[in-house]
Structure 1
């Protein structure tokens, strides 16, 4: 690669290409960034104030307040010293902590500076001061203000699209949580608030062990094989959306693994968690195909009996029932639960026809949520690709 190619991005707006296209400049951030001093906001925040109070992290707006905010916000980007988070204020603001750096740069359009920081910011390195690392980071940029504006507007529009899809996804997830709370009986009742027309009977209280059979997993690590026949279900296979995460782990077929095969219509439940907050424990997967999966240790196979619909079971076990599981966990930093305790927990079942309707309803809702998750992930991947190609 010659010097000319090195100093120009791979993808550029047409009017800035060609033989006479100007090169980009190379500096370190410390040569171009300016920091602005402003006192941290230490008073209480509320929902009623006029101005945003900004903190570090993924949820930058901690609240609102009145007073004398930082007003010269238009070309400003806020940088989280400990979190490497970025935020582009749209109005006057307060900062909540001294770890929020207020940054600008001479001859940098505001949205372009924000995007440049996104492209070249360092990877988080634990709880440390990242601004020092940022200042020593090499950065390439165009001095052409028209090109800056085009790039800034382009990425702002892409960010707005991502935000729109993120909000839609959050709305769907909130809708699902609301429906789970209303389409299953609340504690102390046997009739849900919302149900399909034609169903009026009370739901029947049963124990999980009464309506399902089970068999446990065992350690099969020594049978792992990159070219193995079976996909392995272990603790890392359970996503936060209770869907299978393929870690690429396979096991070959033998008399041990063949006894741990999971069949279509069965479910698997994880019985331990590597964290104390229990983000994974009790999550359940619904198996769609025969002879595709085997289970490793600390996973239980649940086989619903007649009268207990598998898809309804999947929704129930990952919803209201999982809250009960988390109440009987043991351990400290790494928690676990014994299936002997789980199978004694109670649940409520309607007649099979109503189970099927509820199961299909949540299946469709889950597919819609997954569709939005994929679209959001595609947009984020597109943005990262464009950041790499539209900057050097």
Structure 2
């Protein structure tokens, strides 16, 4: 490798003349494996444990704490606040081609982790950060083994190459990126706070089944709510039918995808796919409501989404059914009411199946839903719309910080 490649693109002033040195991991770290633990070993209380992958960090680069616990076994390895870990298995190579610095002492390090202990005078956070840049990730991805389950063993990591500057520069870079990481953590807590607030209101602003008043209500509204069957408020619509694989991926028409309905109370206008124009299909209209009819778990059937766009030649996918109101319903109210915990329970009770769960459109149309006055519907719908807007704002700030961090990881490391 040429000398030009042994310095990063972006560097702090004063370090320009120092070249970075390549090391094989086996020459600067001692590898170990933790004692085996599984999900069945987890407890409500006990010693904090890092089990594997998403079970410990959501893949944070700096692990300051964990919220999983277990009863310690003999010969358990506890963190000393200096370890760097890499997951040893995952669904994809991208899942495990990453490293984390365990900054807190006394955490159990589980058996599905590659544990690295630095044996030279280097900064462990710098090592975790270095492995997390795109070039080093690519090297780990190349070394990963397997298909349905992908593995990275200590022996796969031994010859992976990392590049280190002087300890002073390592500390400078690590300190700077740790500050950004703390900003990300703070912003994530802001996102979580608004999401938790929305979740609480969804639980309290809609009446329980058989009741006529919600627990929490806007001032000025005192009238009892009514319950209506879905079939008494409109009519059902069918999704795409009579199509084969060759009909998709091209054409002047679109269809609303299953995941668009599943993920979004308000459907995203951009989450559509191409299909040929077909006059025999039902076009969706502003205010239509979509429901998923199938899922892998009973808790995820009957997810709903409202379409708020006026576009021609847009259809619904074949794994959902639609509903078109024939009475005056506020679309935002419907979007959030249908996603409230109380209403979700009613759909879950309809789920039937073993390996895959389905709901009957006919039975769904018989479900009862709470409907207040149009004025109160509008007030509630706008309230939740504003909360979603706030969540979106905070998530964009979070994404900006995460992109900034990744940019530095790519530009400040060799």
How far off its partner does 1:344 sit?
Answer: 0.6
Contact 1:54 1:96 in 2 (8 A): yes
Say which SS state the counterpart of residue 386 (structure 1) adopts.
Answer: helix
Segments of structure 2 that go 5 or more residues without pairing to the other structure are 57-65, 91-95
- Cα pair distance change 1:166/1:233, threshold 3 Å: same
1:101-120 to structure 2, matched below 5 A, reads: 101-105=114-118, 106-119=120-133, 120=136
Segments of structure 1 that go 5 or more residues without pairing to the other structure are none
Q: Once the two structures are superposed, what CA deviation does each residue of 1:285-342 show, in whole Å capped at 9, x if it has no partner?
A: 2222212532121222222232322111111112232331122122332322221111
1:183 is matched with: 205
Among 53, 56, 70, the alignment partner of 2:52 is: 56
Among 90, 106, 128, the alignment partner of 2:103 is: 90
1:26-45 to structure 2, matched below 5 A, reads: 26-35=22-31
Comparing 59-68 and 328-337, the one that deviates more: 59-68
Contact 2:213 2:225 in 1 (8 A): yes
- Cα pair distance change 1:196/1:115, threshold 3 Å: same
Q: Distance in 2 between matches of 1:165 and 1:361?
A: 22
Question: In the comparison of the two structures, how many residue pairs are matched?
Answer: 381
Q: Distance in 2 between matches of 1:340 and 1:361?
A: 32
Contact 1:264 1:287 in 2 (8 A): yes
Contact 1:41 1:94 in 2 (8 A): no
Q: Distance in 2 between matches of 1:41 and 1:276?
A: 26
- Cα pair distance change 1:26/1:243, threshold 3 Å: farther
Contact 2:99 2:129 in 1 (8 A): no
How far off its partner does 1:204 sit?
Answer: 0.7
Residue 20 of structure 2 corresponds to residue 24 of structure 1: yes
Say which SS state the counterpart of residue 80 (structure 2) adopts.
Answer: coil
Say which SS state the counterpart of residue 338 (structure 2) adopts.
Answer: helix
Q: Distance in 1 between matches of 2:108 and 2:72?
A: 13
Residue 274 of structure 2 corresponds to residue 255 of structure 1: no
- Cα pair distance change 1:133/1:242, threshold 3 Å: farther
1:113-132 to structure 2, matched below 5 A, reads: 113-119=127-133, 120-121=136-137, 122-123=140-141, 127=149, 129-132=151-154
Say which SS state the counterpart of residue 78 (structure 1) adopts.
Answer: strand
2:335 is matched with: 314
1:75 is matched with: 82
Residue 386 of structure 2 corresponds to residue 364 of structure 1: yes
How far off its partner does 1:54 sit?
Answer: 3.0
1:284-363 to structure 2, matched below 5 A, reads: 284-291=304-311, 293-319=314-340, 320-363=342-385
1:158 is matched with: 180
Contact 1:282 1:318 in 2 (8 A): no
Q: Distance in 2 between matches of 1:140 and 1:88?
A: 16
Contact 1:45 1:53 in 2 (8 A): no
- Cα pair distance change 1:172/1:3, threshold 3 Å: same
Q: Once the two structures are superposed, what CA deviation does each residue of 1:171-223 show, in whole Å capped at 9, x if it has no partner?
A: 22221111111000123422110001111122111111111222111234554
Contact 1:71 1:91 in 2 (8 A): no
Among 181, 189, 193, the alignment partner of 1:171 is: 193
CA-based RMSD: 3.1
Contact 2:266 2:308 in 1 (8 A): no
Contact 2:49 2:110 in 1 (8 A): no
Say which SS state the counterpart of residue 53 (structure 1) adopts.
Answer: strand
Q: Distance in 2 between matches of 1:388 and 1:3?
A: 18
Contact 2:256 2:272 in 1 (8 A): no
Contact 1:183 1:192 in 2 (8 A): yes
